[in-house]
Structure 1
Amino acid sequence: MNTSFVNPLPGVPDVESPFFDELFAQKEASENVLRVARQLRENGFAIIDFPDAEFDARAERIKTKFHGRFDFDHWRDELWHKNDGMRVQDAWETDEGVRSLASNPQILHLLSQLYGRRAIPFQTLNFPVGTQQPIHNDAIHFSCVPERFMCGV
């Protein structure tokens, strides 16, 4: 006789499911996964240590490589409110360092456990300064079908 729990709501991310406890018990999730899952469930975000021993060096190489693509003087003088020209979209398609961060196997495994579906990277956005935008909704730019399965890292 099979006594495993069958998720009656597969269209809801596991971290948001009313069957959260049953789903994560069945996964035999580690304490770290449970901690992150609870943070996401309660706060809408979680803080983790990125699982890459080379993260700092990799980030410095990426920052150095892209630094020349940003017009900081023009941004400081005129465009700080729009951030025009201060973003590199989808660098993961051409830059190995960005790709290694976007497709980190441990992050993808964690996200797959949290959401109950295989996680896949689909976009990167690199920028040297925060946008300082007022509250806004990016759902038109960052969404998925079914909804609620997109996670920004």
Structure 2
Amino acid sequence: MKQWVQKYSGLLRNLRITYWLYNMFKLGKLKKNKQLYKQLGVQKAVWQSLSHADIKKSSNDIPWMDGQGITKEAIQNHASFNQFNAIIQEQLLNWNEKGYLIIPQFFADKVDAINTEIEQLKEENKVDFNFTGKKIMDAWQYSETINAIFRDEKLLQIFEFIFQKKPIPFQTINFNYGSEQKPHSDSIHMTTEPLGYLSAVWIALEDI
């Protein structure tokens, strides 16, 4: 059902009623959010669309490395800093200036396996491009290889260091030769509470 909606709904996905109908199919899983909605002061049904403005009891907490008093010295002196190699350490020290990390060759030995796996999943009709004709959504659900990378311990350690919270991986997108999207903000579509805890990883599976 999920793959069918992703592939054929197209512009209908922009209509609120389409979103609601899809959530009604997932009502069993969404019911667990009722208690959380109560804690956060959200006065909506769990199947309705939600924005951060609907959260009446929000937190002012921010990721550790985004704090105003977090200097390079504070980062270096953190107990977990030495678990990273020199390249990652240098990138972390520049986080406050850049807001992103570039880590060469992090998954270099796994690129071929990922590409082979995607082609195999397509041949077996386990995954397909969505309505854009360019994106394959959540291949990690169908592949042990991709799921292992999705939950790579060394990768998650980096996020945990930045946020000082345990990261929760929740989505993968594979595409051919770039998605060709216009500049955009993911946080508009996937807002966190507290704010600022959404992050993304781009893994180059082709020469750049």
TM-score by length of 2: 0.54
Residue of structure 2 in register with 1:27 after alignment: 79
- Indicate if the aligned counterparts of 2:63 and 2:197 stay in contact, CA closer than 8 A: yes
- Indicate if the aligned counterparts of 1:142 and 1:150 stay in contact, CA closer than 8 A: yes
SS at match of 2:115: helix
Check 1:44–1:112 CA distance in 2 against 1; reply closer, same or farther (3 A cut).
same
The one-letter code sitting in structure 2 at the alignment partner of 1:15 is: M
Q: Does 1:16 align with 2:66?
A: yes
Residue of structure 2 in register with 1:4 after alignment: none
Q: State how many pairs are aligned.
A: 134
Check 1:29–1:46 CA distance in 2 against 1; reply closer, same or farther (3 A cut).
same
Residue of structure 1 in register with 2:173 after alignment: 125
**CA displacement at 1:149 relative to structure 2:** 1.0
**CA displacement at 1:98 relative to structure 2:** 1.5
SS at match of 2:199: coil
SS at match of 2:81: coil
**CA displacement at 1:115 relative to structure 2:** 1.3
Report the RMSD for the aligned CA atoms in angstroms.
2.8
Residue of structure 1 in register with 2:99 after alignment: 44
Task: Structure 2: state its 5+ residue gaps.
Answer: 1-59, 202-208
**CA displacement at 1:38 relative to structure 2:** 2.7
- Structure richer in helix, relative to its length: 2
Tell me the distance in 2 between the aligned counterparts of 1:93 and 1:53.
Answer: 22
- Structure 1 stretch 57-66 or stretch 125-134: which is displaced more? 57-66
SS at match of 1:129: coil
User: Map of 1:68-147 to 2, 5 A cutoff?
Assistant: 69-70=128-129, 84-147=132-195
% identity of equivalent residues: 22
CA deviations 1:37-65 (Å, max 9, x no partner) are 23332112211135446312322323423
Check 1:50–1:112 CA distance in 2 against 1; reply closer, same or farther (3 A cut).
farther
Residue of structure 2 in register with 1:77 after alignment: none
TM-score by length of 1: 0.71
Residue of structure 2 in register with 1:75 after alignment: none
The one-letter code sitting in structure 1 at the alignment partner of 2:191 is: S
- Indicate if the aligned counterparts of 1:33 and 1:114 stay in contact, CA closer than 8 A: no
Q: Does 1:55 align with 2:110?
A: yes
Task: Structure 1: state its 5+ residue gaps.
Answer: 1-9, 72-82
- Indicate if the aligned counterparts of 2:62 and 2:196 stay in contact, CA closer than 8 A: yes
Check 1:149–1:88 CA distance in 2 against 1; reply closer, same or farther (3 A cut).
same
CA deviations 1:86-127 (Å, max 9, x no partner) are 212111122112111110011011110111111121111111
